[in-house]
Amino acid sequence: MSPKQPREAGNLFAAAGMEQDAPHPLPDRLRPRTLADVVGQDHILGPDGALTRMLETRTLGSLVFWGPPGTGKTTVARLLADATELHFEQISAVFSGVADLKKAFDAARARRETGKGTLLFVDEVHRFNRAQQDSFLPVMEDGTVVLVGATTENPSFELNAALLSRARVLVFHSLDTAAIEKLFANAEKIEGKQLPLDAEARAVLVRMADGDGRASLTLAEEVWRAARKGEVFNAEQLQAILQRRAPIYDKSADGHYNLISALHKSVRGSDPDAALYYLARMFDAGEDPLFLARRVVRMAVEDIGLADPQALAVCNAAKEAYDFLGSPEGELAIAQAVVYLATAPKSNAVYTAFGAAMQTAKQGGSLLPPKHILNSPTKLMKSEGYGSGYQYDHDMPDAFSGQDYFPEALGRQTFYDPPDRGFEREIRKRLDYWARLRKERGGS
């Protein structure tokens, strides 16, 4: 290798606008140095926050931090160790096994003998299996470690009850617009320049961060790298440069269930605009349209019912239209069904009635229907009274006999109670009419 080669390599870095000793990434340079520097988590770190009170009373116990990526879970754990003068030990459930846990516990015991406590931070703690989670219990109980576990998944489902009973769960929130803007302002201070974005593009960049502080700073850094001197990007240029960060959405985790719940409740609440928004969110995140079509059918039978008998037909037709057209054209049919449901009269009367009938059926056992409505194909059955006294409704006045069809041991029940809304207003009139006839003709 000639003496000139190192200089040439250095010149390549310089030509590309890069220093060989490049500064650390922006998220690392802006990492909070104290708990007061953490943004977006005032509910736990503010003057009356849970962690603030723990630190004031020196009663820090084991904790589980639950929240989305980039909300400060690791940083807060590290700063907690500093604030309480505990040794900070970090392991990841993704890369660690039983041997790593034993090594960490043994080191904590040895450290304890010298008078130094240990804050053991376990990232992605939900990745440990049940047996591995149980291994934390003894060292938590005897004070060998203060456990701080971090998880993006719902602890109620992913962590065992024994571990949860010994740790307090603190929820970290996605960063709101104000918190992201504060991060951008801090970044502009250390960079010594404004983000080269107009107002609309800056708002778009905030949305692209999706509540993730680390992502917001990474995106800001990409913008600065891309901008030529004096250049200011608009929203369209920004999206072209960054190629848009995909929404955070795990179809098997909380994001999935939160959005489908929001869609369902928006339909139930007769808000077509909110319903379309959540439907669009799920389509944009890559949700299976057939899953959405099935849920829309469920909404039709649960929340609209017979208040609009066409609702179920519309939703089934939307599913068929999607099967026929595919994406993206077929998605419009599902959107049309969602708007139909959101603007339809609402009733859960059939849903409630069926639930009550199921409960009565389970509790009542194998009760025999009244004999007058049983078929009697044999002489023996006729002699036992099967079919005796049955009145054929079509031969009766008003095509209504008013007979009782419930088992004698159960007595007449009322499950279906339609409201005075939509088509069920007409059903209510019929039921009231038949009730009067039943009473006039001696029925119950």
**Residues 344-397: tens digit of each pLDDT:** 999 999 999 999 999 888 887 788 888 888 888 888 888 888 888 888 989 888
Q: List, edge to edge, every strand of the sheet that includes 118-123.
A: 87-92, 118-123, 146-151, 63-66, 168-171
Integer-rounded Cα radius of gyration of the chain: 33
Helices assigned H by DSSP within 25-154: 26-29, 42-45, 50-57, 73-83, 98-113, 130-134, 136-141
81-85 long-range contacts, CB within 8 A, separation 24+: 81/119, 81/121, 83/35, 83/55, 84/55, 84/58, 84/60, 84/117, 84/119, 84/146, 85/117
Contact 118, 144 (CB under 8 A): yes
pLDDT at residue 251, as a whole number: 55
pLDDT digits (tens, 9 = 90+) for 182-228: 999 999 999 999 999 999 999 889 988 888 999 999 999 999 999 88
Residue 66's pLDDT is what?
A: 92
pLDDT given at position 410: 87
Note the pLDDT of residue 378: 86
Same domain, 61 and 149: yes
Q: Answer whether residue 384 is part of any domain.
A: yes
pTM above 0.75, yes or no: no
94 has a pLDDT exceeding 90? no
Query: Are 144 and 198 part of one and the same domain?
Result: no
At 250 the pLDDT is 57
Number of structural domains the chain divides into: 4
My answer on whether 160 and 182 are in the same domain is: no
Bridge-partner residues for 233, per DSSP? 197
Q: Is residue 274 located within the same domain as residue 333?
A: yes
Q: Which of 171, 205, 226 is the last residue of a domain?
A: 171
Least confident of 21-35, 54-68, 122-136, 401-415: 21-35
Q: Does the residue 288 lie in any domain?
A: yes
304 and 398 share one domain: no
Residue 97 CB-density burial (10 A; 0-12 exposed, 13-18 middle, 19+ buried): exposed
- Of 326, 310, 288, 309, whose CA–CA distance to 279 is shortest? 288
Assigned domain for 349 exists: no
For residue 401, being part of any structural domain is answered with: yes
Last residue of a domain, one of 131, 146, 171: 171
Mean pLDDT of 171-176: 90
Instruction: Please indicate, yes or no, whether residues 228 and 107 belong to a single structural domain of this protein.
Output: no
Nearest-CA neighbor of 192 among 29, 21, 37?
A: 29
Q: Residue 323 in contact with residue 330, Cβ under 8 Å?
A: yes
Domain membership of residue 28 (yes or no) is no
Average pLDDT over residues 222-251: 80
Position 298 confidence tier, pLDDT thresholds 50, 70, 90: very high
Last residue of a domain, one of 292, 324, 343: 343
Residue 244 pLDDT > 90: no
Triad 182, 187, 192: Cα angle to 5°: 125
Residue 9 confidence class, pLDDT cut points 50, 70, 90: very low
Residue 98: how many other CB atoms lie within 10 Å: 11
pLDDT average, residue stretch 35-50: 90
Q: Is residue 8 part of a domain?
A: no
* 55 plus 150 within the same structural domain: yes
Give yes or no: residues 165 and 193 share one domain. no
156 and 59 co-located in one domain: yes
CATH code: domain of residue 198: 1.10.8
Alpha helices in 210-300 (DSSP H): 213-226, 235-242, 254-268, 272-284, 289-299
Alpha-carbon span 295 to 403, nearest angstrom: 39
- Report the range of poorest mean pLDDT among 65-69, 218-222, 238-242: 238-242
Dihedral angle sign, alpha carbons of residues 59, 140, 153, 71: positive
How many angstroms separate the Cα of 5 from the Cα of each of 1, 10, 11, 19, 44? 7, 9, 10, 17, 55
- Domain membership of residue 307 (yes or no) is yes
The mean pLDDT value of the chain amounts to: 87
124 and 70: one domain? yes
Is the alpha carbon torsion for 66, 72, 78, 82 positive or negative?
negative
Tell me the one-letter amino acid at 335. A
Give the domain extent around 411: 370-440
Q: What are phi and psi of 123, to 5 degrees?
A: -80, 145
Please state the rounded mean pLDDT for residues 96-118. 91
Q: Report how far residue 182's alpha carbon sits from residue 216's, in angstroms, rounded to the nearest whole number.
A: 11
* Domain-embedded: residue 117: yes
Q: Are residues 163 and 181 in the same domain?
A: no
Contact 371, 386 (CB under 8 A): yes
166 and 183 share a domain? no
Query: Is the Cβ–Cβ distance between 38 and 79 less than 8 Å?
Result: yes
**Closest by alpha carbon to 66, among 125, 131, 152, 138?**
152
Query: What average pLDDT does this structure show over 257-271?
Result: 92
Residue 14: pLDDT above 90? no
